């Protein structure tokens, strides 16, 4: 077997090429002609449905719910392909396979996109509508556009049970979300408090730590003089945010810093204000940062907040929700925080209070969605105590009850859970699950803060008003594996389909979602939501960059499906999905899948053209009665089935598919079909057709989870079937041990190597593949079985290497003017006199040797030049060395060829 290597990004796929010299004219597979037809067939016959009444063992995957705002992107396409392949495979293996679909209401993202649409179309923001009317418009938008992505997923071939589709704001799901809030509150795991939170001034809502990206940016370090209150000098502090100086409530120094210990207890004046603040000592201060003194702003820095709590410092909030300086900001009130920064620096300079400015790289918190710089603010929010929930979640992974694939993601999982902070779950939005907290009102209809609030799913008393805030989107999503099945009710679906089996997801939501689902599952059901977590890599462009609108490097999967077909897209994404590695994707990579689909389509025609419509073809010969190549093919088939099952068990789906691919193209097409097909114009024997169709059917079954459309189409071409006899519901192939012969397969493998060696010799001497030649096989006397097999199957050499005169000998000397090769203990001699003009070939080789020697000499002179070796980049020198080595190898080959001519 020869191999054509297709390169793309960092991924390389070996694509076998045909051995045939007289292959029939190929047809082009047209996916558009069949994909819609078969999806409609599967869905209309309810073949995706899963029911608790089946009596089978369940296998459950819950789809990571895409945002209701979303469109199918390559990340969805990759993960859906993997989930669908696993689901289809388990369905064929006899499980009651449920892949549960649905959508996420995506509070902030959806509110933003609808408000933006209304602003563009009607010139109004949400406040112009009011809450009730705006939420009504969001629901209308959801009904019109919300399921676009689910329709797009059908184009990819997703075999979800659409009858169980859920939305995170369904009535039942919403009830589950509110029930969880109440339970956590009653258990003391949920509380309301005023703490420093992440605030987005653009979206004007609190964010959890996981919704904030910390990015490194170039900035400055401003050194500011804080005058002592007694007028005797000043202390210098360094800060990256001079505007927050307006909210300082202390200066901290390290208790062991001899420069400042005598100052502890004294007071300084906050520059540009009339306030005085104390100097305190705290071990948190880094003596080597700046001047060694730290300004403490509890209202706008998390670490400062903790120091303030420790020392009983007051907390001042000087920044409003929109990011402007508030009325506590003296002369800077009303200014944007960054404008205020510029003005404060100017005023410090004017009053000789600015010591110096240095360039400085700092880590800046950015909203993951709006990209605005986060402002830490003191705010009254709702929080979940996470440490009690995290401990059981860590134990489930440590015990092996839950396994990560690849395992290295466990380390990231533990790192986050071991350092977990309480979760801010309230959001200042209108679209989402309203917090189930109720307040008494006074005579004016305002909330009566003197009376206790009530936490309840339903309104406790008439006249009470519900909390205005909504819950973090992830507070509903973490219930997805069981709330989708009807929890908290003890439904049949909950009892049968929970817990699930595997979660397929990207590492980008490991903390947002994957870990939280484990916590929720264990806490509310006592069971883990799944036992395996398959973390896929992320898709990037061919240069390794994240895909984005700004770069214009996105690849639309629907465009690729339109161009190459869904099966081609699925094949290419799966084959590139090496466990735990990001994918550098170029649209040309989908040509791999298209080429393979064409190969499958044309392979059927090799024997299918001889099949009579309506006639059954069944093999009557036992394994022992088969020809050598047939025994080899069945052996390879049965061995591969076991290998595929093992790869899938380890969630190495790319290796599973690559194994089937090699079997189909490299073994079945390039060797088996080439050897059994009749000469042009002749008919194929029925027994040959029967076995070819039998093996082809099993290959279709192995490929179906990855390429469902083309395999379904060809499945029905193989034979007449009943209406529901779908490839999708057929029984997964099992390895038949009684149809494996390692010894006989080994004999054929040796023949393959001999045939390949002869073909290489012909290629080496520029002999046309179709030219008939003679060959001598000098077999070791100890290998009588091989000699007998070669004699019995000498026609294999004629069909695949055009050897019309084959001698099988032992102990013969190599003839003069012959090329040779070694396979195992055997030698192959190919007389050249009848193949080529020996003198012309000698002249050609001598000239090529002369040219190659000059080329190698030039390279060696360059490498002996010390100036070149010392000054050229290391990779350039290495390339030149490799060229010299390759030239030496080529010279050896050429000289050997010349010697063989005698």
Nearest CA-CA partner of 516 in 150, 149, 171, 184: 184
Residue 17 has pLDDT above 60, yes or no: no
Sign (positive/negative) of CA torsion 273, 323, 378, 412?
negative
* Token pair for 635: 């052996």
Q: What is the pLDDT of residues 765-814, one digit of tens each?
A: 888 989 999 999 999 999 999 999 999 999 999 999 999 999 999 999 88
**pLDDT of residue 5 exceeding 80:** no
pLDDT digits (tens, 9 = 90+) for 717-726: 999 888 889 9
Residue in the block written with tokens 């360094």: 238
Mean pLDDT of 491-503: 97
In this prediction, residue 548 carries a pLDDT of: 76
Residues whose CB falls within 8 Å of the CB of residue 88, separated by 6 or more in sequence, listed in order: 97, 159, 704, 705, 708, 728
How is the beta sheet containing 437-439 ordered, strand by strand?
454-455, 437-439, 465-466
- What is the reported pLDDT for 3? 37
CA distance 279 to 77: 58
Average pLDDT, the chain: 92
Are 189 and 385 spatial neighbours (Cβ–Cβ below 8 Å)? yes
Which parts of 202-247 fold into alpha helices (H)?
Answer: none
pLDDT band at 263 (very low <50, low <70, confident <90, very high): very high
Rounded to whole angstroms, the Cα distance separating 411 from 413 reads: 5
Reported as type and span, the H/E element at residue 437 is strand 437-439
pLDDT tens digits, 850-869:
998 999 999 999 899 988 88
- Give the number of residues written for the chain: 902
Burial class (CB in 10 A: 0-12, 13-18, 19+), 114: buried
Give CA–CA dist 712/358, Å, rounded.
67
- Element spanning 536, H or E: strand 532-536
Contacts of 176 (CB under 8 A, 6+ apart): 479, 483, 487, 488
**Measured at the alpha carbon of residue 337, what is the angle toward residues 334 and 342, in degrees to the nearest 5?**
105
DSSP string, 771-790: --EEEEEE--TT-HHHHHHH
Per-residue confidence (pLDDT) for residue 122, from 0 to 100: 93
Q: Over 70: is that where the pLDDT of 16 sits?
A: no
**Helix, strand, or coil (residue 45):** coil
pLDDT at 277: 97
Q: Which residues contact 737 (CB under 8 A, 6 or more apart)?
A: 638
Question: Whole-angstrom Cα distance, residue 748 to residue 630?
Answer: 10
User: Residues 210-234: pLDDT tens digits?
Assistant: 889 999 999 999 999 999 999 999 9
Whole-angstrom distance, CA of residue 178 vs CA of residue 170 = 12
Instruction: Provide the pLDDT confidence category of residue 23 given band limits of 50, 70 and 90.
Output: very low
Omega before 406 cis (within 30°)?
yes
What's the pLDDT at 821? 87
Which run of H or E residues covers position 878?
helix 874-900
Residue 630: the pLDDT is 97
In sequence order, which residues have a C-beta less than 8 Å from that of residue 485 and are 6 or more positions away? 100, 491, 493, 494, 497, 498
- Per-residue pLDDT tens for 609-664? 999 988 899 999 999 999 999 999 999 999 999 999 999 999 999 999 999 999 99
Cα–Cα distance list, 33 to 36, 567, 568, 709 (Å): 8, 13, 14, 10
- pLDDT category at 360 given cuts 50, 70, 90 is very high
CB atoms inside a 10 Å sphere around CB 184: 22
The phi and psi torsions of 251 (rounded to 5 degrees) equal -115, 130
- Residue 877 to residues 640, 869, 872: CA-CA distances in angstroms? 44, 6, 6
The structure tokens 């929970």 sit at 498
Q: 510: which 2 tokens?
A: 């490991």
Structure tokens at 292: 């060694």
Contact yes or no for 467/439 (Cβ under 8 A): yes
- Would you state the structure tokens that stand for residue 178, as one six-digit string? 């509110």
- Give the pLDDT confidence of 819-848 residue by residue, as tens digits: 888 899 999 999 888 777 788 878 888 888
Identify the band that residue 26 occupies on the pLDDT scale cut at 50, 70 and 90.
low
High-pLDDT (> 70) share of the chain, %? 97
- Within 10 Å of residue 729's Cβ, how many Cβ atoms? 13
Residue 476 corresponds to which tokens in the numbers above?
A: 């509903």
Q: What pLDDT score was predicted for residue 723?
A: 87
pLDDT at 470: 96
Q: How many Cα neighbours within 13 Å face the side chain of 685?
A: 8
Radius of gyration of the CA atoms of the chain, in A: 36
Q: Which residues, in sequence order, are CB contacts of 219 under 8 Å at separation 6+?
A: 240, 359, 360, 361, 362, 364
Neighbours of 235 (CB within 10 A): 21
- The residues that bridge with 61 in the sheet, in sequence order, are 99
Question: Under DSSP, is residue 855 helix (H, G, I), strand (E, B) or coil?
Answer: helix
DSSP per-residue codes, 70-93: ----HHHHHHHHHHHHHHHHHHHT
User: Three-state SS for 95?
Assistant: coil
Read off the DSSP letter of residue 322. T
pLDDT at 390: 97
251 and 258 Cβ atoms separated by less than 8 Å:
no
DSSP3 helix / strand / coil % (the chain, rounded to 5): 45, 20, 35
For residue 734, pLDDT beyond 70:
yes
Confidence of residue 25 (pLDDT cuts 50, 70, 90): low
Query: CA–CA distance from 278 to each of 252, 309, 312, 895 (Å)?
Result: 8, 15, 12, 89
């Amino acid at each position: 077997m020869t191999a054509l290597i297709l390169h793309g990004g960092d991924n390389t796929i070996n694509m076998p090429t045909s051995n045939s010299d007289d292959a029939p004219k190929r047809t082009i597979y047209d996916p558009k002609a069949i994909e819609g037809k078969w999806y409609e067939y599967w869905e209309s016959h309810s073949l995706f449905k899963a029911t608790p009444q089946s009596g089978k063992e369940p296998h459950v995957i819950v789809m990571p719910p895409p945002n209701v705002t979303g469109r199918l992107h390559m990340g969805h396409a990759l993960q859906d392909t993997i989930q669908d392949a696993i689901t289809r495979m388990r369905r064929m293996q006899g499980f009651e396979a449920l892949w549960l679909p649905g959508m996420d209401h995506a509070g902030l993202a959806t509110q933003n996109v609808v408000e933006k649409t209304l602003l563009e179309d009607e010139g109004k923001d949400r406040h112009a509508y009011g809450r009730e009317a705006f939420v009504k418009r969001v629901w209308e938008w959801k009904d019109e556009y919300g399921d676009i992505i689910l329709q797009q997923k059908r184009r990819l071939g997703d075999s979800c049970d659409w009858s169980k589709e859920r939305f995170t704001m369904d009535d039942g799901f919403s009830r589950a979300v509110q029930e969880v809030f109440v339970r956590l509150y009653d258990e003391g795991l949920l509380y309301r408090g005023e703490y420093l939170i992440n605030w987005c001034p653009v979206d004007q809502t609190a964010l959890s730590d996981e919704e904030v990206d910390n990015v490194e940016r170039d900035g400055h370090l401003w050194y500011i003089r804080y005058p002592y209150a007694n007028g005797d000098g000043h202390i210098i502090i360094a800060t990256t945010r001079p505007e927050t100086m307006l909210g300082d409530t202390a200066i901290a120094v390290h208790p062991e810093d001899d420069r400042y210990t005598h100052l502890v207890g004294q007071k300084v004046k906050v520059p540009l204000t009339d306030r005085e603040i104390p100097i305190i000592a705290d071990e948190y201060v880094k003596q080597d940062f700046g001047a060694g003194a730290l300004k403490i702003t509890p209202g706008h820095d998390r670490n400062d907040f903790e120091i303030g709590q420790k020392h009983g410092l007051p907390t001042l909030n000087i920044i409003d929700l929109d990011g402007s300086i508030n009325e506590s900001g003296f002369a800077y009130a009303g200014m944007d925080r960054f404008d205020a920064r510029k003005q404060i620096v100017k005023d410090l300079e004017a009053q000789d209070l600015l010591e110096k400015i240095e360039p400085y790289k700092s880590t800046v918190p950015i909203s993951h969605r709006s990209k605005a710089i986060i402002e830490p603010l003191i705010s009254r929010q709702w929080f979940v105590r996470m440490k009690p929930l995290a401990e059981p979640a860590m134990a489930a992974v440590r015990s092996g009850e839950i396994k990560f694939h690849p395992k290295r993601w466990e380390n990231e999982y533990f790192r986050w859970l071991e350092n977990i902070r309480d979760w801010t779950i309230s959001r200042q939005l209108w679209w989402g699950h309203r917090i189930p907290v109720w307040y008494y009102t006074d005579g004016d209809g305002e909330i009566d803060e003197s009376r206790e609030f009530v936490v309840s799913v339903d309104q406790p008393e008439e006249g009470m008003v519900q909390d205005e805030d909504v819950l973090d989107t992830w507070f509903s999503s973490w219930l997805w594996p069981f709330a989708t099945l009807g929890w908290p009710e003890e439904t049949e679906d909950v009892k049968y389909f929970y817990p699930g089996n595997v979660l397929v997801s990207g590492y980008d939501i490991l903390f947002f979602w994957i870990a939280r689902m484990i916590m929720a599952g264990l806490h509310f059901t006592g069971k883990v939501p799944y036992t395996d977590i398959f973390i896929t890599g992320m898709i990037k462009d061919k240069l390794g960059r994240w895909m984005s609108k700004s770069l214009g490097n996105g690849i639309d999967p629907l465009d690729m499906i339109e161009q190459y077909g869904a099966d081609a897209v699925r094949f290419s994404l799966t084959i590139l999905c090496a466990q735990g590695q990001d994918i550098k994707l170029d649209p040309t990579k989908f040509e791999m899948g298209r080429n393979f689909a064409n190969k499958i389509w044309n392979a059927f025609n090799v024997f299918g053209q001889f099949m009579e419509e309506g006639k059954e073809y069944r093999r009557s010969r036992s394994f022992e009665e088969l020809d050598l190549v047939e025994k080899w093919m069945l052996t390879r088939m049965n061995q591969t089935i076991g290998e595929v099952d093992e790869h899938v068990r380890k969630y190495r789906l790319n290796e599973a598919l690559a194994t089937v691919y090699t079997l189909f193209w490299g073994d079945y097409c390039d060797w088996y079909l080439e050897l059994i097909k009749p000469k042009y114009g002749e008919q194929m024997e029925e027994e040959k057709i029967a076995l070819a169709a039998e093996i082809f059917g099993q290959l279709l079954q192995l490929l179906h989870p990855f390429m469902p459309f083309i395999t379904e189409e060809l499945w029905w071409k193989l034979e007449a079937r009943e209406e529901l006899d779908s490839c999708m519901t057929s029984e997964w192939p099992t390895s038949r041990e009684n149809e494996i012969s390692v010894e006989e397969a080994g004999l054929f493998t040796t023949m393959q190597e001999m045939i390949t060696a002869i073909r290489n010799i012909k290629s080496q001497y520029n002999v046309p593949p179709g030219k008939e030649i003679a060959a001598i096989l000098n077999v070791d006397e100890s290998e009588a079985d091989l000699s007998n097999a070669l004699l019995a199957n000498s026609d294999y050499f004629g069909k695949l290497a055009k050897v019309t005169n084959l001698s099988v000998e032992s102990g013969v000397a190599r003839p003069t003017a012959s090329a040779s090769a070694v396979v195992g203990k055997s030698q192959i001699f190919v007389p050249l006199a009848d193949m080529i003009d020996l003198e012309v070939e000698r002249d050609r080789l001598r000239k090529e040797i002369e040219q190659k020697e000059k080329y190698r000499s030039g390279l060696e002179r360059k490498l002996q030049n010390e100036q070149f070796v010392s000054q050229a980049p290391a990779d350039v020198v290495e390339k030149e060395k490799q060229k010299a080595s390759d030239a030496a190898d080529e010279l050896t080959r050429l000289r050997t060829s010349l010697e063989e001519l005698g």
